């Protein structure tokens, strides 16, 4: 069988080093401030979390284009849809739990179904929200948002990629869900990188297993891949920042070579990126696959690293998943 695919962008020649840990939400805040200077049609809405979303500079510089809605997230989505109707490009900002789970009906009816050009930007996503606990640690948001027809879903891995993705979605026509986090994490992607919606990035070439990672798990996937070298295992690492539309060409390109895969995400396994990849492979190129993520439980209060380790989303968990999937591989 001959399978044709577009080759993914290859950055495996770079040395992946943390150039200084930064929170991904600051990448959003700095980028939207730049967008405000570049485009008068860009407006920002916030649900009483201006500081948490790093929107202070935008609010101070462009007070006539900043709307403080208060703790009324559903209202914020409706206002954003109305602003989009007038030709504005609205960016809404709040915690991921409130940006999706609390207001899903408004997003479905007023934004997705109506095909409004609204950018839903969500910070404090996943379990790395940390001490605020399970009520705020939404691990189901990707599952919710990717089911909506026409909704683009992006989950960035570091400050630089979040900055680049924020700039990119301003140019993208249609509703977008942009997911990022609270804590400082390694910042390692190129500063001058141009984010391409729908395209994966090859970070490390390998021949034994494909590791598809998204968000905060990308750095952990790289750590795992370099540790696996000592075991004689060559792991390929691919950054899946755009979860929908999925870069199917990149997935096929990699698994045709490795014949097995591991997915890694800070999200419920049920409904997450891993299931999207597994579903695609099951229909096109059946492949042994293991998934690293939250396994059908709620979180709890703790530090980000403590919680990632407790709930099976650490570097060692990716290494263990690689061992399991290679054992199942048909040579």
By annotation, the residues acting in catalysis are 73
Site of tokens 């006539």 = 64
DSSP 131-170: TT-TTT--S-HHHHHHTSTT-EEEE--SHHHHHHHHHHHH
Rounded Cα distance between 211 and 233, Å, is 12
Measured CA distances, 182 to 123, 200, 246, 257, 303 (Å)? 6, 23, 25, 36, 11
CA angle (8 as vertex; 312, 172 as ends), nearest 5? 90
Q: What does the block give as tokens for 272?
A: 């997450």
Q: How many CA atoms lie within 13 A of 110 on its CB side?
A: 20
Q: Do 160 and 27 touch, CB atoms closer than 8 A? A: yes
Q: Which phi and psi angles does 67 have, rounded to 5°?
A: -120, 110
Report the DSSP pairing between strands 235-239 and 209-213.
parallel
- Whether the CA torsion 163, 134, 104, 148 is positive or negative: it is positive
Site of tokens 């691990």 = 139
DSSP 78-119: HHHHHHHHTT-EEEEEEEHIIIIITTHHHIIIIIITTT---E
């Amino acid at each position: 069988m001959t399978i044709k695919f577009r080759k993914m962008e290859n950055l495996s020649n770079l040395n992946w080093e943390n150039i200084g840990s930064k929170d991904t939400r600051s990448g959003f805040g700095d980028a939207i401030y730049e967008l405000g200077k570049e485009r008068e049609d860009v407006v920002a809405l916030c649900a009483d979390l201006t500081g948490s979303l790093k929107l202070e500079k935008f609010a101070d510089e462009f007070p006539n284009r900043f709307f403080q809605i208060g703790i009324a997230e559903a209202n914020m989505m409706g206002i954003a849809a109305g602003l989009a109707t007038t030709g504005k490009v609205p960016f809404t900002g709040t915690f991921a739990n409130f940006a999706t789970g609390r207001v899903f009906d408004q997003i479905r009816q007023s934004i997705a179904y109506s095909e409004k050009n609204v950018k839903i930007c969500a910070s404090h996503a996943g379990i790395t929200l940390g001490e605020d606990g399970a009520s705020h640690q939404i691990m189901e948001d990707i599952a919710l948002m990717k089911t909506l027809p026409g909704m683009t879903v992006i989950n960035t891995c570091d400050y630089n990629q979040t900055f680049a993705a924020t700039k990119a979605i301003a140019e993208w026509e249609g509703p977008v869900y942009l997911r990022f986090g609270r804590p400082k994490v390694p910042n390692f992607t190129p500063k001058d990188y141009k984010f391409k919606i729908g395209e994966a990035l090859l970070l490390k070439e390998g021949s034994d297993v494909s590791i598809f990672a998204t968000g905060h798990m990308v750095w952990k996937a790289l750590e795992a891949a370099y540790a696996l070298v000592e075991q004689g295992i060559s792991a390929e690492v691919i950054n899946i920042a755009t979860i929908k539309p999925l870069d199917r060409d990149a997935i096929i390109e990699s698994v045709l070579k490795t014949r097995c895969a591991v997915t890694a995400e800070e999200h419920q396994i049920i409904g997450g990126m891993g299931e999207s990849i597994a579903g695609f492979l099951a229909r096109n190129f059946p492949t042994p696959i293991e998934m690293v993520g939250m396994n059908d439980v709620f979180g709890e209060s703790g530090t980000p690293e403590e919680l990632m380790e407790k709930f099976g989303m650490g570097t060692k968990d990716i290494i263990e998943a690689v061992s399991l999937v290679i054992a199942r591989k048909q040579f």
